[in-house]
């Protein structure tokens, strides 16, 4: 199987691709860019959970179950009031995405358990996923944004401390002259960042100017540039082979995809998420 990588225009982009692991964490996962993450999250949150400041937590969260499951988040942070946030950028469709999101949300819940006479009071949890794919299988059911919480049979909120927010980025099609809100501007910025050759007038604001400055490839140090190029190649390899798997739709296709990714030295967990094959199956290829 041959994997076609991105074209020269993509390689010559002026700004980093935020869908890459490197790009997403450069924009949102460093102390120096924390104000960008706060501003973005506040567009998604209700007024009573607005963030003033936050701290980053270890993105690798270990479970204490006998199975030894490990959850690795793109960004795991906590606000000054104690609320916890998981923010993920998913670049390729994974199997059982909704199940995976629910599973990941249990880690910050369990982390709050206190020894001794704990009364089970929990702080709010938000799972926010920015997706470069459609997770809704039925086209007529697709929505760009889904805000999910626990509700009863009458549609009334039963529990207000566990929230899921999913953004299916391919469904956002607004152009520059159609942007109406600050949230629109953020989504437009993230979806098109690596295609811009200049800062659009509508994004000429302090918060976005800082984002463009951080995202400028010319500002990367040599070792950062190398890391970004590796992350970019991985992004396109995974995206291309996932498209191939979708069209073939057979076990033979998944096996060929896994073999191709192994030849490219893609991380095992990414191959598992991309193909749906087991670790043992992949290791035995």
Which residues have C-beta within 8 Å of that of residue 57, sequence separation ≥ 6? Answer: 76, 77, 78, 84
Closest CA relative to residue 127, chosen from 149, 152, 159, 156: 149
Q: Which of 164-168, 175-179, 195-199, 278-282 is predicted least confidently?
A: 278-282
Q: Average pLDDT over the chain, rounded to whole? A: 83
Above 80 in pLDDT, residue 31? yes
Q: What's the CA angle centered on 74, arms 207 and 16, to 5 degrees?
A: 50
Write out pLDDT tens, residues 17-30.
Answer: 999 989 999 999 99
Number of Cβ within a 10 Å radius of residue 265: 9
- Of residues 205 and 71, which shows the higher confidence score? 205
Closest CA relative to residue 22, chosen from 214, 272, 275, 256: 214
pLDDT recorded at residue 71: 57
Helices and strands per DSSP (H, E), number in the chain: 10, 8
Burial of 29 by CB count in 10 Å (0-12 exposed, 13-18 middle, 19+ buried)? Answer: buried
DSSP state of 153: T
Above 50 in pLDDT, residue 7? no
Query: In which band, very low, low, confident or very high, does the pLDDT at 210 lie, cut at 50, 70 and 90?
Result: very high
Q: How far apart are CA 249 and CA 239, in angstroms?
A: 15
pTM for the whole thing? 0.77
Closest CA relative to residue 23, chosen from 264, 191, 266, 273: 191
pLDDT recorded at residue 67: 46
């Amino acid at each position: 199987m041959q994997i076609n990588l991105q074209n020269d225009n993509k390689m010559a982009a002026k700004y980093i691709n935020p869908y890459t692991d490197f790009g997403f964490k450069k924009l949102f996962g460093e102390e120096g860019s924390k104000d960008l993450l706060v501003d973005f999250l506040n567009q998604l949150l209700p007024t009573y959970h607005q963030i003033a400041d936050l701290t980053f937590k270890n993105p690798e969260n270990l479970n204490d179950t006998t199975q030894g499951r490990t959850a690795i988040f793109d960004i795991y942070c906590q606000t000054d009031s104690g609320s916890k946030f998981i923010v993920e950028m998913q670049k390729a469709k994974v199997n059982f995405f909704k199940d995976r999101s629910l599973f990941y949300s249990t880690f910050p819940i369990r982390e709050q358990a206190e020894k001794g006479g704990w009364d089970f009071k929990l702080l709010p949890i938000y799972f926010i996923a920015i997706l470069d794919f459609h997770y809704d299988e039925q086209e007529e059911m697709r929505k760009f944004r889904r805000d999910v919480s626990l509700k009863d049979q009458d549609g009334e909120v039963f529990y207000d401390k566990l929230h899921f927010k999913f953004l299916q980025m391919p469904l956002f099609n607004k152009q520059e002259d159609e942007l109406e809100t600050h949230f629109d501007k953020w989504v437009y910025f993230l979806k098109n960042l690596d295609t811009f050759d200049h800062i659009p007038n509508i994004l000429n604001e302090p918060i976005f100017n800082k984002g463009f400055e951080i995202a400028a490839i010319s500002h990367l140090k040599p070792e950062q540039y190398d890391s970004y190029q590796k992350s970019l190649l991985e992004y396109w390899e995974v995206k291309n082979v996932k498209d191939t798997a979708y069209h073939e739709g057979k076990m033979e296709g998944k096996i060929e995809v896994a073999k191709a990714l192994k030849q490219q030295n893609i991380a095992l967990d990414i191959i598992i998420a991309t193909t749906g094959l087991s670790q043992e199956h992949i290791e035995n290829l």
